[in-house]
Chain A
Amino acid sequence: MKRMLVLGAFAAMLASGTALADTSGKKIAFSNNYAGNSWRQAMLDSYGIVTKKAVEDKVVAAADVFTTADKEVPTQAAQVQNLILQGYDAIVINAASPDALNGAIKQACDAGIVVVSFDGIVTEPCAYRVVVDFKDMGKQEVEQMAKFQPKGGNLLEIRGLAGTSIDDAIHAGILEGVAAHPEFKIVGSVTGDWDQTTAQKAVATILPSLPDIVGIVDQGGDGYGAAQAFAAAGKPRPTIIMGNRQDELKWWKEQKDKDGYQTWSASIAPGVSSLAFWVAQQVLDGRTDIPHDLLVPYLAFTQDDFEAALPKIKEGGVATHEYTQEDAIAAIKANIK
């Protein structure tokens, strides 16, 4: 234990001593808690593309990916502890829980390891957080809805995975948006788990008991399923906010070609994993001026630009953006006030 601490302190000293220290000998691990949906697959793809090049260019020595078999907190906590034992210099993490991993994260920091979390962030102060403003995204959904449905009306809300911070933040944003737009009323809420099939089943179940719906506010990955449920029930198609999934944008395009259907789409870009990687690299590089909370914009598409993006998304994938080192430096700069 003591030896690790001394080593860690030594590493920290080396890192902070000279700006732009050499990171070519550094090893960065990626701890990921789930890989079972299109978003996570796109996230791993983006990370793989960016880090493979970084290793080839000798920017870092290694960038290994570790995925846990289940979505469980204890498994990931154990994984982080193993990565500490492996001697990595930094850990990029998409965490299963914002708080429940703090014990393991603190152990990593104490061992002198740089921890950068994104998407599923961790609250432990010693870690860095690449945060997307999910609350603003939820609020923006209602703002956009007000443009398409100026008369207002009944909304259906589709929630994400219960008990997660992302679901909580988007939901809070939606509530805030509805409070600012009293012409809207949320008359029903279902759990879609960010998954088209789950969302379709949930919406189909609640649909018969609902009054007329003008719009659906959701969390991404559930819009296409909701559209299918409405079509199957023969109900008029509401304005469904989309979440950048390929099937969602494709459906949107079909509807637009048919009768000029309008909506809006937003989600966190899975490529934010590559941004987190570069942040870790920058910290290892000796930069000490990086704020621990970095706010990055979410990726949104409007009526005018979604068709241009559609062909670039893989079948069944999610719209993404791979970040370069320059992007990361620019994003860090934007967050230093």
Chain B
Amino acid sequence: MTIVSLGTSPKNSSARGAARARMLRGLLPALSLVLVLIAIAWLNPRAISYFGFSLMLNLAIPIALATIAQMFVIAGNELDLSIGTFVGFVGCVTATWLKDAPLIGVLILLGSIGVYALLGALIHLRNLPSIVVTLGMSFVWQGLAILVLPKPGGKAPDWLLSLMAFKPPFIPFPIIAALLIAAVVHFGLMRTSYGVILRGSGGNAAALERAGWSLLRTRIVLFALAGLFGVLSGMALIGITTSADANIGNGYTLLAIAGVILGGGEFVGGRVSPIGAVLGALTLALAASPLLTFMHIPPDWQVAANGAILIIVLAARVLISRRER
């Protein structure tokens, strides 16, 4: 990715240093993923197999999709605190309406993407802090989820079940899915001209507006994309778990933010990386669960250890980006 640096061009040597740091930053998500994989291979060699990867990574797909959703919002300098409960809401709709009345189900899901787009417009037009709006929305989604599915249950549509249980030869499905997600989003956001505009709305909104682009439109598009990937995440999740629960996605909000940051994104400035975000999500999914289970930590310490792993992984990322400055 190229980042247009405003201001005076630095001297040659420091520019080279910055380029190296930038490359390091680009490699970091991949590096941390490899490290976690090595640790897992060392702790439990049996996990490094077709069967092992299918099991360990399949729940990383919905996390990766939710991370991409969060990444679109962060690209526009906003933060979405409702993505977790939104995924839960989508899950509940998927396990009920989408199975029993597919047409209504599809309409509800499309409508919820529309709500996301409207939120983007609202945040832009009224100049509201996105954290407040989305925090409020998180309770709305949660409430709607409980309304749709008052007690855990429902069942995923059969086509979704068979899609998520798909067993391609040689390469486990979760890996193919992750590659696909990363490639599609990378192309859309990093290689198309409107992708540049979208990132620019977070990078330098004033310049973009002076150049005649509608910031309202970019914000609506970013939020609608977040909604779209939120829907995909919820559907993928239900395809794996087979049945829904109103509280199923709550943990995704923080995981998604951590995934974006771990993947080399920044909270401000439109600096995000789709490939990094997917790698970040996979790393988090692996570090938080399989690694922890395989380490045999006493139960009293497991919760704390989970947090510690998160901090260590994110701290490595912060150290490198500091060198870049």
What 1/0 mask marks residues of chain B from 216 to 250 whose CB sits below 8 Å from any chain A CB?
A: 00000000000000000000010011111111111
CB of B289 within 8 A of CB of A79, answer yes
Category for how many chain A residues contact B: 35 or more
Stretch at the interface among A53-61, A95-103, A143-151, A205-213: A95-103
CB of B247 within 8 A of CB of A87, answer no
A131 CB, nearest partner CB in chain B, Å: 15
Q: Which of A86, A96, A102, A106 contacts B293 (CB 8 A)?
A: A86
| Contact A162 to B56, CB < 8 A, known contacts A67-B303, A99-B244 | no
| Contact A102 to B50, CB < 8 A, known contacts A81-B56, A97-B152 | no
CB of B299 within 8 A of CB of A101, answer no
B62 contacts partner chain A, Cβ-Cβ < 8 Å: yes
B213 contacts partner chain A, Cβ-Cβ < 8 Å: no
Residues of chain B lying within 8 A (CB to CB) of residue A72: 247-248, 250-251
A49 contacts partner chain B, Cβ-Cβ < 8 Å: no
Complex Cα distance, B292 from A86, in Å, reads 12
A85 contacts partner chain B, Cβ-Cβ < 8 Å: yes
Q: Which of A83, A86, A163 contacts B246 (CB 8 A)?
A: A163
B296 contacts partner chain A, Cβ-Cβ < 8 Å: yes
Residues of chain A lying within 8 A (CB to CB) of residue B303: 35, 67-69
Q: Which secondary structure dominates where chain B touches chain A? A: helix
A33 CB, nearest partner CB in chain B, Å: 11
> Can you name the residue of chain A whose Cβ is closest to the Cβ of B290?
A82
Given A100-B242, A165-B151, 14 additional A-B pairs, CB 8 A: A66-B302, A67-B302, A69-B288, A69-B302, A74-B241, A78-B288, A81-B56, A82-B294, A84-B55, A85-B56, A86-B44, A98-B152, A103-B240, A163-B152
CB of B299 within 8 A of CB of A75, answer no
Residues of chain B lying within 8 A (CB to CB) of residue A1: 50-51, 54
What 1/0 mask marks residues of chain A from 154 to 193 whose CB sits below 8 Å from any chain B CB?
A: 0000000011110010000000000000000000000000
CB of B251 within 8 A of CB of A75, answer yes
Residues of chain A lying within 8 A (CB to CB) of residue B111: none
A254 contacts partner chain B, Cβ-Cβ < 8 Å: no
| Contact A64 to B152, CB < 8 A, known contacts A69-B306, A73-B241 | no
A102 CB, nearest partner CB in chain B, Å: 5
> Can you name the residue of chain B whose Cβ is closest to the Cβ of A107?
B55
CB of B46 within 8 A of CB of A87, answer yes
> Can you name the residue of chain B whose Cβ is closest to the Cβ of A29?
B293
Residues of chain A lying within 8 A (CB to CB) of residue B248: 72-74, 97, 100
CB of B299 within 8 A of CB of A99, answer no
CB of A32 within 8 A of CB of B152, answer no
B52 contacts partner chain A, Cβ-Cβ < 8 Å: yes
